[in-house]
Structures are given as C-alpha cells and as structure tokens.
C-alpha cells in the first residue's frame, strides 16, 4: 500500500512519454513507502504512475556521475528527446556498442519479444551489412558489435560478416541468439569461431521447461544445454541472458547463477534483463508486472544463500546509474563464490569523463565475456582454495574462474526517463544510417506502434 500522493516526497523531475500516444510529457519521481514511482500526466490521456524502484539500496544513494562527453552527432535537436535521435547534440554518451539487426526472421515465435521478430521481410544483403560496418567504423572508431535480429544464425553468411568486421578493425563481436542452430550445427559454430566471434549472448530463461513454454512458447531447456556444451567444445565464451518475468522465473534467479557458476569458464557471466514492455508482449503491465533492479539485487542475495550480497553490486560508469549493475566473482571448485571486485571501490565513485567510462566498459565486456584464453575447461589446480605456486598460475586462476553477474533494466513507454536515455551508450543501427539508443529504438505505445523501429510486415 502506498502513501497518499500528498505525503510523497518528490525526488526529481524529468521528461517521459505517454504510453498511449508517445507524446512527450513532464514527469516527477516521487517516493513513498520504500517505492519510487514515475508520475506523469498526458493532456489527452490523463494520469500515469509506474513503479521504477522498490526498496534498498535507496534510490537517492544509487546515483552516479552524469555523462558530459558529447556523442558523434548526425541529427539536430528540434522536437526534443527522444524524437531527434541520430544521435542529436543532447545525447551525452559516445557509442560503446552498436547492435546490428542482420535479419528480421526468427525460428521462434516468443510471446515476449522486444523486436517483434519473425514477421519482417527479406534480410539485408551482405553488401548492405558490409556498408553498415564501414559507416559505423568511419563515424565512431572502435566500438563493440552485437549481431542481432530476429535470429541472426538464420543467416548462412554470418561468419563472413564477422570476418569482414574483423578485417575492418573491430575488436569484439557478440552474437545475440536463442542457440538453436548452435545446438544442432557444429560446423556452423566452428565457422563463427574461426571468423572471430568473441562471445555468445545466449537467451536462457531458467532451468525448467515450464518457464520456456510460458516465455518462449515451447520447451527449450535441452536445446539450451546442448548449445552451451557446443560453445564450450569450440572455445566460444557464453553469457546466459535471462529475461525475468514476475510470476514466472523471478524465483529461479539463484538457481540460474549456480548453474552458470558450475560451468565456468565456458560460461563467462549471467546478464539478467527484467522484462520491458515494448515490441511484442501479452498485455499492458501493472505495477506487479515490474521487477526493479533493487529487487533483483536482493533476490540474488536471498536465493544464493548469501554467496552474493546486494551490497556487492555497483552501477556502470558507462551509462546512467539507474540502468544497470554488475559484480565479478571468483568461483571455487566447490561452488563457493568470492567477490573479486568490490561493488563500492573508491575509484568507481570518482567523477570521470563519460568517454572514459564507455572505453572501460567496452574493454571490460571484450575481456570478461570472451572465452578464457580460448579454453573450454579449467584445470582444478587453478581453482580458488588451492595452492598456486606462481604468479602466472594465480593470474590464470583469475582469468578462468571469474564470472560476471550483471543486469540491465531497459525502458518502455510506461517508465521511460529521458535523463537515462540521454546517457545510453548502446545504440541500434537504423537502416537509414542513424544510431538510435536501444530503448528509444524499441519504444512502442500500448497498441504496439513503434517510434523508430520499421513497421512489421504482417502476413
């Protein structure tokens, strides 16, 4: 039960969107009864109130430094955020990672899909994608590349795309995938590895098929496990990516981490994504359908039996503090987890240029999410708790037995905060050549109409 509106404390003001029509409107962040709401009023559609933060750590204590480094600007500011993306001069963060949607096709039909994949037309041809890579490189220099879709492994020429990108100087390629083709086609996985794929970002929602039936529309657990085994065999680093949906798999968080830790170093991390209501989703969300970052941090502590603590986690220096958190752990042979990087190191709280935070984030992802030295297994002699007789052995232990636990809270039309959006370093390449912040690109109103994403082609 929340306090009456008159007793709530206003924590700040921002700008947001009406979820009915995507009109730009003013919003307030108000706190009451340990919950923070985004409160806004549309002249046409009335009042909206959405939960954005529940419980500890307190919202006010989590804030980090804002971005100050202008991005590479292509579009001009006119209508105001988020309608001028391209990027406009109001954007505060340079590009860390660019997501390329190389297909609109998919071999699943998930009830929840931010891209509404599987209904769009033909793939861009190889020459078109090659032009995109050259354009991004010329405009932004070094950045990480995510290959996405749809399901990108439906393209037979994906290895050639990666090889071309490597020849152009890109240092890190990540594959966003459901893993089905990787489970079935060893030769294809080997071609991806040989071409220079760095990391497999694997859709992985839980350890029971009931979870997959509800979120993905079919049983998939065995196929996911086969994909992980195949990647380990090939020396491809894997990050498990659970979409967390309240009432379905938010009680499985600890089990997912324990499963991942048991597969170190083949599995390099777990990257949780609380569900966001854009693209294709089953219904308009109520507050009970929201799962906030502090709830996730506390769930990690509770469901791990204290192996992880909520206070271990820190916000990223590359984006707005309210977008994400992460921590790194050393994993012992018996499953014990020891924090290897403090969530509150003093150096992380010092002001620093936004460009430095983005550079460090880009380097961190490339280092920690790629395979550990290309190995699929680690020697027991290099596990925490055993005696190491050289610096090299110790460094190898840290490299091969470290797992990163992280989360990203994407925004939809109900909870979007333009202050957060202006600090986004994850950008999607639009077919017309613009770079659009991820959450802006995927915004849809309650009827599913997009702000930036090209319209679906319905059968």
pLDDT tens profile 69-81 = 666 677 888 889 9
Q: Is the dihedral of CA 99, 102, 108, 114 positive or negative?
A: positive
Tell me: pLDDT of 124 over 90: yes
For residue 46, give every residue at least 6 positions away whose Cβ sits within 8 Å of its Cβ, in sequence order, or none. none
* pLDDT given at position 100: 97
Considering the domain architecture, whether residues 46 and 129 belong to the same structural domain is answered as no
5 vs 135, residue with greater confidence: 135
Residue 390 near residue 130 (C-beta atoms within 8 A): no
Query: Which whole number is the average pLDDT over 242-255?
Result: 97
Task: Give the pLDDT of residue 386.
Answer: 34
SS3 of 113, please? strand
196/47 same-domain check? no
CATH code for the domain of 325: 3.20.20.70
Helix boundaries (H) for 279-417: 293-303, 354-369, 391-400
For 446, other C-beta atoms within 10 Å of its C-beta total 18
165-202, pLDDT tens digit by residue?
Answer: 999 999 999 999 999 999 999 999 999 999 999 999 99
Of 131-140, 237-246, 356-365, which gets the smallest average pLDDT?
356-365
Q: How many domains does the chain have?
A: 2
Quote the pLDDT of residue 287: 94
CA 165/CA 4 separation, integer angstroms = 55
456 belongs to a structural domain: no
Same domain for 24 and 158, yes or no, is: no
| Statement: residue 371 has pLDDT above 80 | no
Residue 340: per-residue pLDDT: 87
> Do 45 and 115 fall into the same domain?
no
Q: Say yes or no: 199 and 53 in one domain.
A: no
Q: Are 39 and 158 members of one domain?
A: no
pLDDT of residue 120: 59
C-beta separation of 71 from 93 below 8 A = yes
- Count of CA atoms in the C-beta half-sphere (13 A) of 187: 2
Question: If you ran DSSP here, which 8-state letter would residue 89 be given?
Answer: T
Judged against a pLDDT cut of 70, whether residue 378 lies above it is answered with no
416 found inside a domain: yes
pLDDT over 50 at 457, yes or no: no
**In sequence order, what are the beta bridge partners of 17?**
24
Q: Is the same domain home to 240 and 348?
A: yes
Instruction: Decide which of 368 and 97 is more confident.
Output: 97
At how many degrees (to 10) do helices 158-167 and 126-140 cross?
Answer: 30
Domain span at residue 414?
Answer: 97-429
Mean pLDDT of the 281-307 span? 92
Q: Are residues 48 and 106 in the same domain?
A: no
* Residue 68 or residue 54, greater confidence: 54
Judge if 171 and 245 occupy the same domain. Answer: yes
**Residue 119 falls inside a structural domain:** yes
For position 250, what pLDDT does the model report? 98
d(CA 250, CA 434) in angstroms, rounded, equals 36
Q: Which among 269, 394, 262 has a CA at the least distance from the CA of 329? A: 269
Query: What is the pLDDT of the chain when averaged over all its residues?
Result: 85
Q: Are 442 and 278 in contact (CB under 8 A)?
A: yes
The answer to whether the CB of 308 falls within 8 A of the CB of 390 is no
Lowest mean pLDDT among 46-55, 146-155, 235-244, 350-359: 350-359
Q: Residue 4 — pLDDT band, cuts 50, 70, 90?
A: very low
Q: Is the pLDDT of residue 393 over 60?
A: no
| Residues 256, 150 share a domain | yes
Q: Considering the domain boundaries, does residue 90 fall inside one?
A: no
pTM of the complete model: 0.88
Please determine, for residue 414, whether its predicted confidence score (pLDDT) is greater than 60.
Answer: yes
33 and 159: one domain? no
Q: pLDDT tens digits, residue range 444-453?
A: 888 888 889 8
Residue 266 belongs to some domain of the structure: yes
Q: What is the pLDDT of residue 447?
A: 82
Distance from C-alpha of 236 to C-alpha of 190, rounded to nearest angstrom: 9
Report d(CA 300, CA 315) in Å as an integer: 16
3-state secondary structure (DSSP) of residue 166: helix
User: Which residue did the predictor score with more confidence, 65 or 142?
Assistant: 142
Q: Does residue 334 or residue 298 have the better pLDDT?
A: 298
CB within 8 Å of 414: residues ≥ 6 apart:
19, 48, 50, 277, 285
d(CA 122, CA 78): 33
pLDDT at 400: 81
Residue 132 has pLDDT above 70, yes or no: yes
Q: What is the pLDDT of residue 76?
A: 83
Instruction: Kindly state whether residue 18 falls inside one of the protein's structural domains.
Output: yes
Within a domain: 11: yes
Q: Is residue 73 part of a domain?
A: no
Whether 18 and 161 map to the same domain: the answer is no
* 382 — pLDDT class (breaks 50, 70, 90): very low
216-233 mean pLDDT? 97
In terms of Cβ atoms closer than 10 Å to its own Cβ (0-12, 13-18, 19+), residue 297 is: buried
Sign of CA dihedral 64, 67, 68, 69: positive
User: Where residue 2 falls among pLDDT bands split at 50, 70, 90?
Assistant: very low
The pLDDT of residue 349: 30
Residue 312 CA to residue 300 CA, distance in Å, equals 10
Burial class of 344 by CB neighbour count within 10 A (0 to 12, 13 to 18, 19+): exposed
């Amino acid at each position: 039960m929340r306090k009456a509106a008159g007793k709530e404390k206003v924590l700040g003001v921002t700008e947001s969107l009406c979820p009915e029509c995507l009109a730009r409107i003013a919003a307030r962040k108000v706190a009451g009864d340990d919950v923070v709401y985004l409160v806004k009023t549309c002249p046409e559609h009335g009042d909206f109130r959405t939960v954005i933060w529940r419980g500890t750590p307190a919202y006010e204590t989590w804030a980090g430094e804002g971005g100050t480094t202008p991005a590479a600007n292509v579009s001009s500011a006119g209508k105001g955020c988020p309608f001028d993306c391209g990027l406009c001069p109001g954007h505060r963060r340079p590009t860390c990672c660019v997501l390329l949607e190389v297909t609109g096709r998919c071999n699943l039909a998930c009830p929840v899909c931010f891209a509404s994949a599987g209904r769009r037309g033909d793939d861009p041809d190889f020459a078109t994608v090659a032009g995109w890579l050259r354009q991004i490189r010329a405009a932004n220099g070094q950045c990480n590349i995510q290959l996405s879709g749809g399901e990108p492994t439906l393209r037979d020429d994906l290895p050639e795309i990666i090889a071309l990108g490597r020849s152009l100087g890109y240092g890190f390629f990540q594959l966003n995938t459901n893993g089905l083709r990787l489970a079935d086609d060893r030769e294809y996985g080997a071609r991806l590895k040989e071409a220079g794929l760095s990391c497999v970002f694997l859709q992985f929602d839980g350890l029971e098929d009931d979870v997959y039936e509800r979120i993905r529309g079919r049983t998939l657990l065995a196929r996911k496990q086969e994909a992980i085994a195949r990647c380990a065999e090939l020396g491809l680093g894997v990050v498990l990516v659970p979409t967390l949906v309240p009432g379905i798999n938010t009680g499985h968080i600890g089990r997912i981490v324990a499963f991942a830790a048991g597969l170190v170093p083949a599995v390099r991390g777990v990257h949780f994504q609380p569900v966001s209501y854009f693209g294709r989703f089953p219904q308009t969300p109520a507050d009970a359908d929201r799962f906030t970052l502090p709830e996730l941090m506390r769930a990690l502590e509770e469901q791990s039996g204290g192996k992880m603590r909520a206070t271990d986690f820190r916000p990223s220096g590359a984006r707005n503090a309210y977008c994400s958190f992460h921590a790194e752990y050393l994993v012992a042979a018996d499953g014990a987890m020891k924090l290897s990087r403090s969530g509150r190191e003093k150096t992380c709280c010092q002001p620093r240029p936004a460009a430095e935070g983005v550079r460090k984030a880009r380097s961190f992802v490339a280092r920690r999410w790629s395979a550990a030295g290309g190995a699929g297994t680690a020697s027991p002699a290099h596990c925490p708790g055993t005696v190491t007789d050289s610096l090299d052995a110790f460094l190898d232990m840290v490299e091969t037995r470290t797992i990163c636990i992280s989360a990203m809270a994407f925004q939809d039309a109900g909870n979007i905060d333009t202050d957060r959006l202006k600090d986004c370093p994850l950008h999607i390449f639009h077919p017309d050549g613009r770079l659009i912040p991820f959450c802006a690109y995927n915004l849809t109103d309650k009827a599913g109409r997009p702000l930036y994403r090209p319209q679906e082609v319905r059968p």
